Amino acid sequence: MIKGILFDKDGTLLDYDASWLPVNRELARIAAQGDAALADRLLVACGMDPVTGHIVPDSLLAAGNTRQIADGLVAAGSEVSAEELTRRLDDLFSNAAEFSVPVTDLAGFFARLHARGFKLGVASSDNERSIRRTASRFGFADYLDYVAGYDSGFGVKPEAGMVLGFCAATGLDPAEVAVVGDNNHDLHMGRNASAGLTVAVLTGTGSPESLAAASDHCLNDITELEGLLPDLQFA
């Protein structure tokens, strides 16, 4: 009996490449203080090929939260402090919500799941402000029972805290929850919380090979979830 669905945001609800490759280049520019050569080196260190834009699955840029990315940038040579970078990157990521690209009509998608009785939440390594701006922009904020970012007090992925927070907010048992994400941090979070189902999607930085071990199902995108869940819900 799956009664609740907890979604990752970037690469799951939002098309990762279309939404985040320009943002990643800008974060490297900020961290490099305009030094183009250093910016390229920072991107490589954090998991992005500066020429092709390819993101290494489960790298810092694929799965890290803002503070982890800031620490990685400093370790790779940025002369901006981690504290200053965290603040500036949180602002960048929140503003990026205005330019992000959804994988589908998210308002309609969440409305349909809500109408079927599912409790719904978003748990992201981004900050909570950015999640709420995204939900507002794409019209699904009213369907959310729970929102958690890395700064919301539930811990960080792949710890179990965000899933357990969702359960506390909705009254569900972890076994009644499906966790949906595009990288192993999301899936391991679900496994660590003993979630009833872990579902991988291929609209982010993972591949079928990188996601196979920790996922019960691997889908092309979240729209395929609608056909998957009825059998699970009413079995």
Q: Read off the CATH number of the domain in which 227 is found.
A: 3.40.50.1000
Q: List, for residues 184-203, the tens digit of each pLDDT value.
A: 999 999 999 999 999 999 99
Q: In which domain, by residue range, is 152 found?
A: 4-15+102-234
Q: Do 108 and 89 share a structural domain?
A: no
| pLDDT greater than 60 at residue 222 | yes
Asked if residue 80 and residue 184 are part of one domain, the reply reads: no
pTM: 0.93
pLDDT tens column, 145-189: 999 999 999 999 999 999 999 999 999 999 999 999 999 999 999
**One domain for residues 221 and 151:** yes
For residue 70, pLDDT over 90 is answered with yes
Cα distances (Å, whole numbers) of residue 42 to 19, 50, 51, 81, 164: 19, 9, 13, 14, 34
Q: Based on the fold, state whether residues 83 and 163 are members of the same structural domain.
A: no
Each residue's pLDDT tens digit, 96-122? 988 999 999 999 999 999 999 999 999
* Per-residue pLDDT at 232: 56
Q: Tell me, yes or no, whether 21 and 64 share the same domain.
A: yes
